[in-house]
Amino acid sequence: MKNITVYILVYNEEARIENLLKNCLWSDDIIIYDKSSTDRTREIASKYHCRIIKIPYSDTGPGMSINVVNDAKNDWILGITCSDIIHPKLIDKMLELINREGFDYDVIAFPYVVGVLGIIDKRSPWSAIPLKKYLFKKTAAIFSDIVHKEISFKPYAKIYKMEKNDKEAVFHLTHENLDIFFERVTRYAKGEAMLYSSMNKGLIKIFLEIWAAIFWMIFYKRVLFMGWKGFVLFYAFLIYFFTKFLFTWERFNGKGKEVYDKLRNSMLKEWSKDANSRSNDAKQG
């Protein structure tokens, strides 16, 4: 019977890693890629039947730091994070599919429900793509260092889409509080800002994304009809684009240190002149 390799990219996840691993005990091949955690992440993970591979720290996704295609013992691979929990019936369906005679797909898109700041709602802008995560054959995957596009698939890959299901799904429970939210928004927005070849192209693209997001949330998702929760999601979603806009501007035009250092040095010269003047006045007095 075919099984599935599960790989998990982690950094300082001692509070959540055990819960996730208890969702993965059905797999005969669990790989933990640990980005050089400084807490008890590896110690806790070592209690379970998984392989722990230490890799260098990075601000964003796996990129080329992992070699899961070669490390995986199984042909099918599932990538998840410590923000995820998995319904057991979804795993049963996955295993049934890959073991079905004549199943010739390379990728399986499965139900994926996102919670942000404790809000789980189909009108949330983060629920835009209910079939977002993928179970894939390792021969079909392409890994990159591009933020939010770390995994793509080869042109020939056939994708099977499972039926939408808000109960038997992978639940991505992210941004438990605003401290985590702002830390991750800053980290990922900064990473995306590095992708633009010029300031003008980047700022124009993000400016258009902002207005498209506003229109989409108001008139299509009708987020604001959710009440105060809707306003929270509306502003939180836009914050990411605004932060990316600011980091893009700073990357090409940010001269804060240069301007302030120049002013500081100029002020020191003024103080030096003033000191000399005071000294001369004292001598004359």
Residue 61 reports pLDDT greater than 80 = no
The secondary structure element, H or E, covering residue 65 is none
Residue 132 reports pLDDT greater than 60 = yes
Cα–Cα distance between 57 and 11 in angstroms, integer? 8
Q: Is residue 49 part of a domain?
A: yes
Same domain membership, residue 185 and residue 157? no
Q: Is residue 213 part of a domain?
A: yes
Same domain membership, residue 142 and residue 221? no
Same domain membership, residue 156 and residue 36? yes
Q: Is residue 282 part of a domain?
A: no
Q: What is the pLDDT of residue 213?
A: 95
Q: How many angstroms separate the Cα of 138 from the Cα of each of 14, 84, 131, 187? A: 28, 21, 19, 28
Domains identified in the chain, total number: 2
| C-alpha of 54 from chain center | 20
Cα–Cα distance between 71 and 94 in angstroms, integer? 21
Average pLDDT over residues 1-16: 93
- Taking only the tens place, the pLDDT of each residue in 209-259 is 999 999 999 999 999 999 999 999 999 999 999 999 999 999 999 889 999
Structural domain including 35 reads 4-103+134-162
DSSP string, 30-75: EEEEE---SSSHHHHHTTSSEEEEE----SS--GGG--HHHH-SSS
Which of the four pLDDT bands, split at 50, 70 and 90, describes residue 284?
low
Number of neighbouring beta carbons within 10 Å of residue 105: 18
- Taking only the tens place, the pLDDT of each residue in 157-176 is 999 999 988 899 999 999 99
Average pLDDT over residues 105-122: 93
Which of the four pLDDT bands, split at 50, 70 and 90, describes residue 195?
confident
Report helix, strand or coil for 82. Answer: coil
Q: Is residue 94 part of a domain?
A: yes
Q: Is residue 279 part of a domain?
A: no
Of the listed ranges 63-67, 140-144, 229-233, 249-253, the one predicted with least confidence: 63-67
Q: What is the pLDDT of residue 277?
A: 74
**% of the chain surpassing 70 pLDDT:** 92
Same domain membership, residue 244 and residue 157? no
Same domain membership, residue 51 and residue 154? yes
Q: What is the CATH number of the domain that holds 27?
A: 3.90.550.10
Same domain membership, residue 182 and residue 158? no
Residue 205 reports pLDDT greater than 90 = yes
Find out whether 57 and 11 touch, Cβ atoms under 8 Å. yes
